[in-house]
Amino acid sequence: MTRDAAIARAEAHFDSGAFRDDLARRVALPTESQNPDRAPVLAEYIETEIRPAFEALGFACQTLSKGDWPFLFAERIEDPARPTVLGYGHGDVVRGLDEGWHEGLSPWRMTERDGRWYGRGVADNKGQHSINIGAIRAVLETRGRLGFNAKYLIEMGEERLSPGLRELATTHKDLFRSDVLIASDGPRLSAARPTVFLGSRGAISFDVWIEAREGGHHSGNWGGLLSDPAIQLAHALASLTGPTGQIRIPEWLPKAIPDDVRRVLADCEMEASADDPEIDPGWGEPGLTPAEKLFAWCSFAILAFEAGNRKTPVGAIPPRAWARCQLRFVVGVDVEDVLPALRRHFDRHGFSHVRIAQANDAVFHATRLDPRHPWVSWTVDSIVRTTGKRPAILPNLGGSLPNDIFADILELPTVWVPHSYPGCSQHAPNEHLPLVIAREGLALMAGIYWDLGEPGLPEAHH
What is the per-residue pLDDT for 277?
85
Would the pLDDT of 388 be above 70?
yes
Average pLDDT over residues 23-51: 97
Any domain includes 20: yes
> Both 164 and 208 in a single domain?
no
Mean pLDDT to the nearest integer, 129-142: 98
Instruction: Identify whether residues 41 and 188 lie together within a single domain.
Output: yes
CATH of the domain at 291: 3.30.70.360
Average pLDDT over residues 164-169: 95
Pair (300, 403) in one structural domain:
no
Residue 158: give its domain's CATH number. 3.40.630.10
Q: Can you tell me the distance from the alpha carbon of 82 to that of 147, in angstroms, rounded to the nearest whole number?
A: 7
Question: What whole-number distance in Å separates Cα of residue 288 and Cα of residue 293?
Answer: 6
SS3 label, residue 218: strand
From 307, 328, 358, give the residue that closes a domain: 358
pLDDT at 461 over 60: no
In a domain, 16, yes or no: yes
| Shared-domain flag, residues 161 and 231 | no
Q: Check whether residue 420 and residue 337 sit in a common domain.
A: no
User: In terms of domains, do 139 and 173 share one?
Assistant: yes
Residue 219: what pLDDT? 94
What is the average per-residue pLDDT within 425-445?
Answer: 97
Give the model's pLDDT for residue 274: 72
Same-domain pairing of 186 and 231: no
What pLDDT is stored for residue 378 in this prediction? 98
Looking at residues 280-286, what average pLDDT do you find?
95
Structure confidence at residue 36 (pLDDT): 95
pLDDT tens-digit series, residues 194-222: 999 999 999 999 999 999 999 999 999 99
What lies within 8 Å, CB to CB, of 348 at 6+ separation is none
The per-residue pLDDT for 123 is: 98
Domain annotation covers residue 278: no
| Predicted local distance difference test score (pLDDT) of residue 460 | 55
* Domain-located, residue 458: no
User: What does the mean pLDDT of the chain come to?
Assistant: 96
> What pTM, to 2 d.p., does this model score?
0.93
* Eight-class DSSP state of 49: I
Residue 62 and residue 191 in one domain: yes
Whether 457 is in a domain gets the answer no
Given a contact cutoff of 8 angstroms between Cβ atoms, the answer to whether 145 and 453 are in contact is yes
Q: Is 93 exposed, middle or buried (0-12, 13-18, 19+ CB in 10 A)?
A: buried
Q: How far apart are CA 381 and CA 458, in angstroms?
A: 12
Task: Provide the pLDDT for residue 39.
Answer: 95
Residue numbers of the domain that contains 35: 3-200+365-452
Confidence band, pLDDT 50/70/90 cuts, at residue 462: very low
Other beta carbons within 10 Å of 265? 24
Residue 68: pLDDT band by 50, 70, 90 thresholds? confident
Contacts of 103 (CB under 8 A, 6+ apart): none
CA-to-CA dists, residue 341 to 243, 290, 300, 357, angstroms: 20, 27, 14, 12
Q: Is the previous residue joined to 125 through a cis bond, with omega within 30 degrees of 0?
A: yes
Gap between the Cα atoms of 346 and 232, Å rounded: 12
Instruction: Tell me whether residue 406 is in a domain.
Output: yes
Q: Answer yes or no: is 276 within a domain.
A: no
- Mark residue 45 as left, alpha or beta (left: phi above 0; alpha: psi -120 to 50; beta: remaining): alpha
In percent, the amount of the chain with pLDDT more than 90 equals 94
- Of 176-180, 301-305, 307-311, which range is least confident? 307-311
How many structural domains is the chain composed of?
A: 2
Mean pLDDT of 345-352: 98
Considering the domain architecture, whether residues 349 and 371 belong to the same structural domain is answered as no
Q: Which of 305, 337, 358 is the last residue of a domain?
A: 358
In a shared domain, residues 185 and 207:
no
Over residues 212-257, the pLDDT tens digits come to 999 999 999 999 999 999 999 999 999 999 999 999 999 999 999 9
pLDDT at 168 > cutoff 60: yes
End position of a domain, from candidates 331, 358, 385: 358
pLDDT average, residue stretch 347-367: 94
Q: Are 201 and 396 in contact (CB under 8 A)?
A: yes
What is the SS3 assignment for 133?
helix
Same domain assignment for residues 54 and 175: yes
Asked if residue 459 is part of any domain, the answer here is no
* Beta carbons within 10 angstroms of residue 335's beta carbon: 15
**Secondary structure percentages of the chain, helix, strand, coil, to 5:** 35, 20, 45
Which pLDDT score, from 0 to 100, does residue 216 have? 94
Answer with the residue of higher pLDDT: 150 or 399: 150
Q: Are residues 247 and 117 in the same domain?
A: no
> 111 forms bridges with which residues in the sheet?
118
